[in-house]
Structure 1
Amino acid sequence: MAFALTVLLSTSGVQASSGDLNIYGFMSVGVGILDKDTVTIEGFEGEGNFKQDTIFALQVSKQVNDKTTATGQLVSRGTDDFKTEAAWA
């Protein structure tokens, strides 16, 4: 019988703010290990692999006026070789 082990470590999030500017961040770190070479699960190998389940993110929000908030988010995923992607909302 093959055994796959995944361990996840997460932060509940970190927040910093100054007036109408807010910065939030979080990370989730996971490691997966397979105990049999004859079994394959996409993204996992016999030795520890952090890329499959690890993510880092940072979000910045700024109150522009009474009705408008600008938000930007940076996300790095292990499955994308930790390339950082930006998104605006």
Structure 2
Amino acid sequence: MESPSIQLVASSLLSISVIFGVLLVATFLLRRLRGTAWGRRAVGQSPIHIAAVRGLGGHNTLVIAEVEGHRFLLGVSRGGISAIGRIDGHE
């Protein structure tokens, strides 16, 4: 005859094992779907394109983004994103 504490431990270990197994299966399926149409992002359909990225050190970055044929220079930092200006001469 098993004591209630042994049954509780066995039940808890079984529950944790089932949850861990479900997480492993979900991870496997998500990795398999990454290369399919379900896992792909519609990059070609987006009106926004990142043309260039330049790190400035720390957590600061300059980004050139193209939107509907216009280029914009953006500053990205921990504090957020700032539009520095529009880059002329690109159509």
Q: TM-score, normalised by structure 2?
A: 0.30
| Higher RCO (CA < 8 A, seq sep 6+) | 1
Q: TM-score, normalised by structure 1?
A: 0.30
Q: Which has the larger radius of gyration?
A: 2
